Amino acid sequence: MATATVAKGAPGETLGAPPRPIRRFFDRHRNTLGAMAFISPWIIGFLVFTAWPMIYSFYLSLTDFDNINPPRFAGLANYRAMISDHTIPQALWNTFHFAIMSVPATIIVGLLLAMLLQRASRGNGFFRTVFFLPRMTPQVAVGVLFLMLFNGSRGIINQILGWFGITGPQWTVDSAWIRPGLVLMGLWTVGNTAIILLAALKDVPRELYESARVDGASSLRQFWSITLPLISPQIFFVFIVNSIASLQTFTEAYTAFFGNQANFSNDAALFYAIHIFETAFRNFRMGYASAMAWVLFLIIMIITAIQWRVSKRFVFYGGGGDE
């Protein structure tokens, strides 16, 4: 009739209450468990939509799978077949060539825009929004816009070049100009890089520039000796992010050259990610495409590790932190 008590081994504990070790565990790790509860949606999403697909794609890379019949284990046959696939070197070359041109161009243009925004006394917020808006544009639309702007006969770019007596190239047909054209089109979306670098520029102490001017340092010298070292961590960050994005370039080039645009030459725009997509969903070789995806993952990891290693010589972290 009264409140029951537990008789053995746990005096004072009431029925239904958690044992003391469990209560002590919750009391001791209350903050950690609270934080885990808040980030649990992200953890669940990561496990379901990222970790599990990666694990399953690795399994598929070891199988012969045509998207219809059950996968058949094939060992390393897909990886060995990649050695004799003559399309892969071309796709890798196109991807690396695009990344080598795109990443430096994106950082340089983004830094120039950030420096202009920093000097703007009025309308700074308006121009930040204007520069960032193209980033919100669907990449499919950017691919279609590329064909309209860079059309060799009727495109606006060649018309503007014609005003200065310059005959523009056939951006969408000439294989030598397809990748540079895509790089130029990609510069339209440097707003996020500019915003990150603008935040870095605003954190540079003004008194350093004042001291440099007192010592007679020129503007170029101030930029080289003060600005670049102090924003080098942010430059390194956008360098890593843009490098990974460039190696995974897909949507704009696919929309422009691999949709219904059969009249255009597309060999120069065959990036590695496009080759993976074509292999998986047009040729129905999902196992082979999974092996290609894992090779790209390893390439990105190796390049990122090299960049991280080299960055220790060029990136300055204030406060004495090494990394």
pLDDT of residue 247: 94
Q: Is residue 323 pLDDT above 90, yes or no?
A: no
Higher-confidence residue of 5 and 47: namely 47
Instruction: Tell me the residue range of the domain where 264 lies.
Output: 77-312
Q: Is residue 260 pLDDT above 80, yes or no?
A: no
152 within some domain: yes
Residue 7 pLDDT grade (very low, low, confident, very high; cuts 50, 70, 90) = very low
Question: CA dist 260 to 30, 95, 139, 264, 266, Å?
Answer: 57, 22, 16, 10, 12
Nearest to 157 by CA among 185, 134, 133, 179: 185
* pTM recorded for the entire structure: 0.81
Is residue 175 within 8 A of residue 140, CB to CB? The reply is no
320 within some domain: no
206-230 residue pLDDT tens: 899 999 999 888 989 999 999 999 9
Biggest alpha carbon distance in the chain?
102
Q: Is residue 2 pLDDT above 50, yes or no?
A: no
245 within some domain: yes
DSSP line for 221-245: HHIIIIIHHHTHHHHHHHHHHHHHH
Q: Is residue 18 pLDDT above 90, yes or no?
A: no
Is residue 188 within 8 A of residue 181, CB to CB? The reply is no
Segment 145-162 mean pLDDT: 82
Residue 67 pLDDT grade (very low, low, confident, very high; cuts 50, 70, 90) = confident
Query: Looking at residue 120, which CATH number applies to its domain?
Result: 1.10.3720.10
123-138 residue pLDDT tens: 777 888 888 887 777 7
What is the total count of domains within the chain? Answer: 1
Q: If DSSP states are collapsed to H, E and C, what string results for 145-160? A: HHHHHCCCCCCHHHHH
Lowest mean pLDDT among 50-64, 136-150, 256-270, 305-319: 256-270
pLDDT of residue 261: 52
Residue 97 pLDDT grade (very low, low, confident, very high; cuts 50, 70, 90) = very high
Q: Is residue 301 pLDDT above 70, yes or no?
A: yes
Amino acid at 205: P
128 within some domain: yes
Residue 272 pLDDT grade (very low, low, confident, very high; cuts 50, 70, 90) = very high
Lowest mean pLDDT among 58-62, 70-74, 248-252, 289-293: 248-252
The enclosing H or E element of 291 equals helix 286-311
The total number of residues written for the chain in this structure: 323
240 within some domain: yes
pLDDT, averaged across the chain: 85
Q: If DSSP states are collapsed to H, E and C, what string results for 71-126? A: CEECCCHHHHHHHCCCHHHHHHHHHHHHHHHHHHHHHHHHHHHHHHHHHCCCCHHH
Q: Classify residue 226 as exposed, middle or buried by CB count within 10 Å of its CB (0-12, 13-18, 19+).
A: middle
Instruction: Please name every residue paired with 63 in a beta bridge, in sequence order, or none if there are none.
Output: 73
Residues 6 or more apart whose Cβ sits within 8 Å of residue 61: 78, 79, 287, 290, 291, 293, 294
218 within some domain: yes
18 within some domain: no
110 within some domain: yes
